[in-house]
Amino acid sequence: MTLKQLTYFLAIAHEGSFLKAAQKVFVAQSALSHQMALLEDELAASLFDRTKRGVTLTPAGELLQAHARAVLRQVDDAKTSIASLSDTPEGRVIVGIPHSVSNALALPLFQSIRLSLPKIELELTEELTGNLIRQLHGGQLHMAVLFEDGTLEDLDVVPLVLERLSVIVPATVGSQSWVAAKRRTLSLQEALALPLILPAAPHGVRPIIERAASQASLSAPNVVADISSISILRTALLADMGCTLLPVMPLMSDIKSGALRALALKAPGLSRTVCLCRSAHNPPSAAAKLVWQATMALVKQLSADGRWVDTALV
């Protein structure tokens, strides 16, 4: 298996056509087909399903695609790290951010890297936490912002801030929100009994909430809908379809406008530990090291000056 074969393979997977892939990588189609035949022989597996409309990946092909992307990314990292030994590090750095953190961190991070590290090309990808963990292990991300919930094994983890969870309810008194409508604080037991819209397990705050209920010997949360998209969850809240347990930052604009209300949980409350994570096995590039340091400093600054609401430094 060669890097050339992996490059050709990814081109075919992306284009869905041997002809288009050959044009993209500037080789004859016959040479491309020959290299893929050698690769399939070596792996003893078929990588493509061929149809009249083009090609799609087999299960073996989908598995190889993840590995191929990781391998080629690490090759690029090695090249840029060596090239930048005598100069300012440059290259592409991919950072994963969960949906519920994007509103607090994405734009400030992009602005910070662009200003302080202009030679680094920052790519931000917004994903569910479970997907981010898999991509970190697969080498598809350089780092990701995640939450300490017992699922971060084999990762290099640095806790950054504690972020408080609130009960977020529609501001108007409706069929779903009447229990919490005139309250300022709720106990965890009262919050768990509300009709809750939460991220699907095992993503986001769901494991944290379920573990807190179990540790307090309380009933499981009364989940009426599993919605892992912040934008769809927001729409459901505004339509008075339920309440949620989340940090306030993802819904801050609606809380400020009065469309939603944030109610505090009674002590000891509920919080999540926001961490910066990277693979413990894949060596980071010089550019990734700088972005790692810049991200840690930025998160702490956002918390300290109050721009990241309801957080405290670890």
| Average pLDDT value for the chain | 89
71, 103, 123 — which closes off a domain? Answer: 71
Q: Residue 304: pLDDT above 70?
A: yes
Four-residue CA torsion sign, 158, 161, 167, 168: negative
Provide the pLDDT confidence category of residue 84 given band limits of 50, 70 and 90: low
Question: Taking CA 283 as the corner, what is the angle to CA 279 and CA 286, rounded to the nearest 5 degrees?
Answer: 115
Distance, CA of 28 to CA of 105 (rounded, Å)? 45
What pLDDT is stored for residue 83 in this prediction?
65
Is pLDDT larger for residue 232 or for residue 283?
Answer: 232
288 and 152 both lie in a single domain: yes
Task: Identify the residue whose tokens are 């918390």.
Answer: 303
What pLDDT is stored for residue 81 in this prediction?
67
Here the CATH number for the domain that contains residue 17 is: 1.10.10.10
Which structural domain range is residue 65 located in?
3-71
Question: Taking CA 161 as the corner, what is the angle to CA 156 and CA 162, rounded to the nearest 5 degrees?
Answer: 115
What pLDDT is stored for residue 173 in this prediction?
56
293 contacts: CB under 8 Å, gap ≥ 6 = none
What pLDDT is stored for residue 93 in this prediction?
93
Provide the pLDDT confidence category of residue 153 given band limits of 50, 70 and 90: confident
Query: Does residue 80 lie within any of the structural domains?
Result: no
Express as a percent the part of the chain with pLDDT over 70: 94
Distance, CA of 78 to CA of 84 (rounded, Å)? 10
**Other Cβ atoms within 10 Å of 200 Cβ, number:** 14
Provide the pLDDT confidence category of residue 179 given band limits of 50, 70 and 90: low
How many structural domains is the chain composed of?
3
207 and 229 both lie in a single domain: yes
Here the CATH number for the domain that contains residue 303 is: 3.40.190.10
Classify each residue of 85-107 as buried b or exposed e, where b means 16 or more C-beta atoms within 10 Å of its C-beta.
eeeebbbbbbbbbbbbbbbbbee
Give the mean model confidence (pLDDT) for residues 157-182: 78
What pLDDT is stored for residue 149 in this prediction?
78
170 and 264 both lie in a single domain: yes
Q: Output Rg (C-alpha) for the chain, integer angstroms.
A: 23
What pLDDT is stored for residue 110 in this prediction?
96
Task: Report pLDDT digits (tens) over 85-138.
Answer: 656 678 889 999 999 999 999 999 999 999 999 989 999 999 998 889 988 888
pTM score:
0.73
* Contact criterion met (CB below 8 Å) for 146 and 275: yes
Ramachandran category for residue 39: left, alpha or beta (phi over 0 → left; psi -120 to 50 → alpha): alpha
What pLDDT is stored for residue 293 in this prediction?
95
Query: Does residue 121 lie within any of the structural domains?
Result: yes
Four-residue CA torsion sign, 190, 191, 196, 198: negative
What pLDDT is stored for residue 156 in this prediction?
93
What pLDDT is stored for residue 152 in this prediction?
87
Give the mean model confidence (pLDDT) for residues 9-29: 89
178 and 154 both lie in a single domain: no
Give the mean model confidence (pLDDT) for residues 34-44: 90
Q: What does the block give as tokens for 190?
A: 């009262």
